[in-house]
A and B are shown apart, each in its own frame.
Chain A
């Protein structure tokens, strides 16, 4: 990770100064928006395939069960390998991927027993794994930042502060050994824990040790006051690296296997018959979902991760008929949601409405005493923003939106009413029943329609010159005849042949 960051920083230094980079990344908004967008893009791309495979909730399950992978890897790292735990460590990533796959396999096993339905199988598998994770956390992992708050909503707002420092020049590492003159001697109790006593209690045995020994990176050495000249440093938020790698992996996977993913999602049986191994692809997809879920876990918490997977594709699904376009739109919606979501958390809704004044208005109208300062969870605001984009697509989509569907239905009803009347005239004109059946005044009675409705339809047909009324008898015009023939050919022919 460290090496990759260095390469990127070297590249950026060709265009920006060190100060510019540091100032830019130290802005909480910038870092949060970058991380949010990277997660949103990965989530949206993978989520598109989950949505189309009817597996939306699998992402929810996996985003919870990766916690088990994280915790187990954490325990293995700290107890067995004596490593410094770190959320971007490959061990945690392997653990999370394994937990994600375990969720899918366990669900599959329960489902295959034939005793439980698919959705229930998922509902059985994932709380089990999540519960085991929670028990392990509370039993073995108590002093880390895997607290409830982090699990719930993540820490995207403070991600800017968790950095790797990269030194450009004046890079002096300092090592202090016990014989160094700068070494500070401290005392510690050696038998306190074992005998369950306090250092002040009688019988406590002490030993001396060096309190500040060890190797200091340039950044640490400078802040500890061990250096004379300030090292030139770039501070790089760790989460950006993790989420960027997830994003690149996801984009690479989707671009490389686009054709295979499409076929496997549309027609699993044909993919199998053609030898394209949809099973392998399925598990690869699940591994990636788990990886992105871990990356997102740190930033937005396990509960909201699912929103980044499902809402953008659901919105994009309403806006296009092509898979490739759907992938792009859903990535765009996700990252726009992350961008405007941060603004919303700080009280600016799409740059149009200030939430503080909304609160003031509510206070004034309802006589409430709400704090007139909008400052809310960043991850929740991002999700809310993505959801608002979904609502917009849902209502306004030109093809599948509520409005256009309602308009189309109304139009279809109108056309159908017209054709019912035209068809009736067509069947009865030019024969004896004409006088009985085609009286303009009481035509409505034949259809059991209201008089107004019939009047409306007749008016419409006359203005478009499909019928004419002479001596109170309705007749088709030339155009009317053609319209009836056309309608019959298109809508009745399959039944006639």
Chain B
């Protein structure tokens, strides 16, 4: 993995993970992960339930303790690269009855840039409204968040990540249980991000859409089974290695996750 770092003329990759291991009570959740994600790709992280997909993201972002390993963002450790990184947690990880508005939640994405003590002002408000507009949620800016549908909640989270204006995004199951409108909105945003040279890592469950939505894929089941361009990596053989016998293949191509969620 250190080969890339040796050549000085080459830019460091968007994400370089080396020997990353996380254990819960000495049982490894992810094991010795090496990963090199080049800049500007839309990458799906797929794998069965309990494969450590969310754990991987949280460990990379230093949200949970690592047993071993490093993660570098454009060649920098997370503490130095914070402003380059955007994070969209799982929708279910927060309390949607919290007394706050949609605009307020989106503005939270700017708290890191504001730093301690400084309050969001008009400029932050403008940025947040613009991000809401990008996910077609501008009309909901002053809504109490408990009044949103699941898809609208997800788009609010997406807007909050957009407003961070990061270089590399980590999204934990943004497509989970959302309506068709939201799914399309997310896909459009993802493509737009890629066009602007951003790198996006998405924990994804729907194997049927991987080829349509993503140009890069990592198959994960505690260990990395395979990682690379979707065309070359998302093969039936690799999928079988990842999911064991739990994947059926329809008309010779599109795999179906039989494990269920």
Among residues 62 to 110 in chain B, which have CB atoms less than 8 Å away from a CB atom of chain A?
62-63, 79, 82, 85, 87, 89, 93-95, 98-101, 105, 108-109
Residue from the list A271, A273, A325, A494 in contact with B61, Cβ < 8 A: A273
Residue from the list B94, B109, B114, B146 in contact with A266, Cβ < 8 A: B94
Q: Report yes or no: A259 in contact with B99, Cβ–Cβ below 8 A.
A: no
Contact with B along A150-174 (1 / 0, CB 8 A): 0000000000000000000000000
Asked whether A256 is an interface residue with its Cβ less than 8 Å from the other chain, the reply is yes
A residues near B233, Cβ cutoff 8 Å? none
> A266 with B100: in contact, given A273-B87, A321-B144 (CB under 8 Å)?
yes
Q: Report yes or no: B82 in contact with A259, Cβ–Cβ below 8 A.
A: no
Q: Report yes or no: A259 in contact with B98, Cβ–Cβ below 8 A.
A: no
Asked whether B111 is an interface residue with its Cβ less than 8 Å from the other chain, the reply is yes
| Between-chain CB contacts (< 8 Å), 12 pairs | A256-B117, A259-B114, A267-B94, A270-B87, A270-B108, A271-B111, A272-B63, A273-B82, A275-B112, A321-B99, A325-B99, A494-B181
Among residues 267 to 284 in chain A, which have CB atoms less than 8 Å away from a CB atom of chain B?
267, 269-276
A153-B25 Cα distance, complex, nearest whole Å: 45
A residues near B119, Cβ cutoff 8 Å? 258-259
Q: Report yes or no: B93 in contact with A326, Cβ–Cβ below 8 A.
A: no
A323-B98 Cα distance, complex, nearest whole Å: 8
Q: Report yes or no: B98 in contact with A266, Cβ–Cβ below 8 A.
A: yes
A270-B87 Cα distance, complex, nearest whole Å: 7
Known: A259-B114, A267-B94, A323-B99. 13 other contacts (CB 8 A): A257-B117, A266-B94, A267-B89, A267-B93, A269-B87, A271-B111, A273-B61, A273-B62, A274-B111, A275-B79, A321-B100, A494-B149, A494-B179
B residues near A267, Cβ cutoff 8 Å? 89, 93-94, 108
Asked whether A384 is an interface residue with its Cβ less than 8 Å from the other chain, the reply is no
B residues near A259, Cβ cutoff 8 Å? 111, 114, 118-120
Q: Report yes or no: A266 in contact with B111, Cβ–Cβ below 8 A.
A: no
Asked whether B250 is an interface residue with its Cβ less than 8 Å from the other chain, the reply is no
CB distance from A316 to the nearest CB of B (A): 9
The 6 lowest CB-CB distance pairs between A and B, nearest first, are A274-B112, A321-B144, A494-B179, A273-B87, A497-B180, A267-B94
B residues near A320, Cβ cutoff 8 Å? 99
Kindly report which residue of chain B lies nearest to residue A269, judged by CB atoms.
B89
Kindly report which residue of chain B lies nearest to residue A494, judged by CB atoms.
B179
Contact with B along A227-257 (1 / 0, CB 8 A): 0000000000000000000000000000011
Kindly report which residue of chain B lies nearest to residue A319, judged by CB atoms.
B99
A315-B105 Cα distance, complex, nearest whole Å: 23
A residues near B100, Cβ cutoff 8 Å? 262, 266, 321-323
B residues near A269, Cβ cutoff 8 Å? 58, 63, 87, 89, 93
Asked whether A265 is an interface residue with its Cβ less than 8 Å from the other chain, the reply is yes
Asked whether A114 is an interface residue with its Cβ less than 8 Å from the other chain, the reply is yes
A320-B95 Cα distance, complex, nearest whole Å: 16
Q: Report yes or no: A273 in contact with B99, Cβ–Cβ below 8 A.
A: no
A309-B94 Cα distance, complex, nearest whole Å: 23
CB distance from B157 to the nearest CB of A (A): 9
CB distance from A15 to the nearest CB of B (A): 34
Q: Report yes or no: A270 in contact with B89, Cβ–Cβ below 8 A.
A: yes
Q: Which of A271, A274, A321 has the most CB of B within 10 A?
A: A274
A residues near B105, Cβ cutoff 8 Å? 266
Residue from the list B99, B160, B180 in contact with A322, Cβ < 8 A: B99
Q: Report yes or no: A276 in contact with B89, Cβ–Cβ below 8 A.
A: no
Q: Report yes or no: B101 in contact with A260, Cβ–Cβ below 8 A.
A: no
User: Could you tell me which B residues sit within 8 Å of A by CB distance?
Assistant: 25, 58, 61-63, 79, 82, 85, 87, 89, 93-95, 98-101, 105, 108-109, 111-112, 114, 116-120, 144, 146, 149, 151, 160, 179-181
B residues near A325, Cβ cutoff 8 Å? 99
CB distance from A339 to the nearest CB of B (A): 25
Q: Which of B95, B100, B160 has the most CB of A within 10 A?
A: B100
Kindly report which residue of chain B lies nearest to residue A256, judged by CB atoms.
B117
CB distance from B120 to the nearest CB of A (A): 7
Contact with B along A384-422 (1 / 0, CB 8 A): 000000000000000000000000000000000000000
CB distance from A317 to the nearest CB of B (A): 7
Kindly report which residue of chain B lies nearest to residue A495, judged by CB atoms.
B179
A273-B25 Cα distance, complex, nearest whole Å: 24
Kindly report which residue of chain A lies nearest to residue B96, judged by CB atoms.
A266
A259-B93 Cα distance, complex, nearest whole Å: 19
Asked whether A210 is an interface residue with its Cβ less than 8 Å from the other chain, the reply is no
B residues near A494, Cβ cutoff 8 Å? 149, 151, 179-181
Q: Report yes or no: B117 in contact with A326, Cβ–Cβ below 8 A.
A: no
Q: Which of A256, A265, A273, A275 has the most CB of B within 10 A?
A: A273
Asked whether A57 is an interface residue with its Cβ less than 8 Å from the other chain, the reply is no
B residues near A6, Cβ cutoff 8 Å? none
Asked whether A461 is an interface residue with its Cβ less than 8 Å from the other chain, the reply is no
CB distance from A140 to the nearest CB of B (A): 41
Q: Report yes or no: A497 in contact with B181, Cβ–Cβ below 8 A.
A: yes
> A276 with B99: in contact, given A266-B105, A267-B93, A494-B179 (CB under 8 Å)?
no
A residues near B108, Cβ cutoff 8 Å? 262-263, 266-267, 270
Contact with B along A278-322 (1 / 0, CB 8 A): 000000000000000000000000000000000000000100111
Asked whether A110 is an interface residue with its Cβ less than 8 Å from the other chain, the reply is no
Kindly report which residue of chain A lies nearest to residue B98, judged by CB atoms.
A266
A497-B183 Cα distance, complex, nearest whole Å: 12
B residues near A258, Cβ cutoff 8 Å? 119
B residues near A317, Cβ cutoff 8 Å? 99
A257-B115 Cα distance, complex, nearest whole Å: 11
Asked whether A52 is an interface residue with its Cβ less than 8 Å from the other chain, the reply is yes
B residues near A322, Cβ cutoff 8 Å? 99-101
A residues near B151, Cβ cutoff 8 Å? 494
Q: Report yes or no: A52 in contact with B98, Cβ–Cβ below 8 A.
A: yes
Q: Which of A256, A317, A321 has the most CB of B within 10 A?
A: A321
A262-B114 Cα distance, complex, nearest whole Å: 14
Kindly report which residue of chain A lies nearest to residue B178, judged by CB atoms.
A494
A263-B112 Cα distance, complex, nearest whole Å: 10
A residues near B79, Cβ cutoff 8 Å? 275
A326-B101 Cα distance, complex, nearest whole Å: 13
A256-B116 Cα distance, complex, nearest whole Å: 9
CB distance from A55 to the nearest CB of B (A): 12
Kindly report which residue of chain A lies nearest to residue B58, judged by CB atoms.
A269
A residues near B95, Cβ cutoff 8 Å? 52, 54, 266
A residues near B62, Cβ cutoff 8 Å? 272-273
Q: Report yes or no: B98 in contact with A265, Cβ–Cβ below 8 A.
A: yes
A residues near B144, Cβ cutoff 8 Å? 321
A258-B107 Cα distance, complex, nearest whole Å: 14
CB distance from B155 to the nearest CB of A (A): 13
A259-B87 Cα distance, complex, nearest whole Å: 18
A325-B101 Cα distance, complex, nearest whole Å: 12
A residues near B87, Cβ cutoff 8 Å? 269-270, 273
